[in-house]
Amino acid sequence: MKNLALLHWFYLSLLVIFWGSTFALTKYALDVFSPLWIVAMRLTIGFSIIYSILRIRGEHLPRGLINWLWLVLVGMTAFFPFYLICWGTIYLETNISGILFGIGPLFTVMAAHFLVPNEKLNLIKFLGIIFGFLGLYVLLFKDIENSSSSSSYSSLLPQIAILLAAIGYSIQNIAVNLMPNMSLMQKTSGSFLIGSLFALIVAISSEGIPNILITDISFISVLIMGIFSTAMASMVMFNLTKIAGPTFVSLTHYILPVYVVVLGTVLLNESITIAQITGMIIILFGIIVTRYGSRLKKN
């Protein structure tokens, strides 16, 4: 039993590392590649690995128009959040991006109220959402106050982009759980196929083919994102959900912002303010309250 618990925490740690490292890796990748090409290469690498594993397991891509309509939706909610994170990271330090992205579970709770019959809001969940948005306001207060100045483009709009990415992932999480007649590997392979094709078409038509040097740190960063932050993270998440349940997986949302802040401070020499720390703590408290509200209702 103890060994099983250690395995759960090992998988959870891998998931936090894979997902949390995306922000720092994106900084390195942006030295050479545009956001469009980072997303296109990341999704293409991720699809190649996941599809290969799918075929090794004897499975195939889903069939049927309804299934592929769902996969188009999920594929777009992979492309656009990836792109928004890349674009926002041009203007933001990774620590603020990680904290903003950590508010995603609150959007999931709000969206689930309207889309999932058994996930309605209650008073405790609502209070958790209030705390979360209070923390968000503390985090963005300075930029909101200065939104009329010329600096707003380089601060407030990229932060909104990260928030929209978090909303996109929330929609994706709900859509994946509502999709019919497919295994998780089929859902991932199909959605990554749609997302990578769309990204490649847009990137090639608008920007042409980039110069790629396989030994350059920017390409290596994209390669790591494709292998670990995309393909391997999906595999770890699926296995962890199966053996420990989705509630345990949701612990990543509490740990990931802290990990991103530490990584940005150590690896990229980024600074962090009292307002950012305060906002992060309030947001995490809000997430904890909403999780408590969900568990209380089920019990």
pTM of this prediction? 0.81
Q: How distant, in Å, are the alpha carbons of 61, 183, 229, 240 from that of 57?
A: 12, 12, 22, 18
What local confidence, expressed as pLDDT, does residue 294 receive? 66
Question: pLDDT digit string (tens) for 117-161?
Answer: 666 777 887 888 888 778 877 776 665 555 445 444 456 788 889
Total domains, the chain? 1
- d(CA 167, CA 216) in angstroms, rounded, equals 33
Give me the torsion for CA of 250, 252, 257, 259, rounded to 10°: 170
Give the chain's radius of gyration (CA, Å): 19
Question: pLDDT digit string (tens) for 161-203?
Answer: 988 888 887 777 777 777 777 887 888 899 999 999 999 999 9
Q: Which residues span the domain enclosing 59? A: 2-298
Q: How distant, in Å, are the alpha carbons of 17, 53, 118, 170, 173 from that of 243?
A: 19, 20, 23, 22, 18
Answer for the pair 97, 260: CB distance below 8 angstroms, yes or no.
yes
The residue count for the chain: 299
Question: pLDDT digit string (tens) for 224-271?
Answer: 999 999 999 888 877 777 777 665 676 777 778 888 888 888 888 887
- d(CA 267, CA 285) in angstroms, rounded, equals 27
Buried/exposed code over 139-157 (b: 16+ C-beta within 10 A; e: otherwise): bbeebeeeeeeeeeeebbe
Buried/exposed code over 30-64 (b: 16+ C-beta within 10 A; e: otherwise): bebbbbbbbbbbbbbbbbbbbbebbeeeeeebbee
What local confidence, expressed as pLDDT, does residue 35 receive? 95
- d(CA 295, CA 247) in angstroms, rounded, equals 9
* Summary mean pLDDT of the chain: 82
Tokens of 283: 């947001």
Answer for the pair 10, 246: CB distance below 8 angstroms, yes or no.
no
- d(CA 105, CA 127) in angstroms, rounded, equals 14
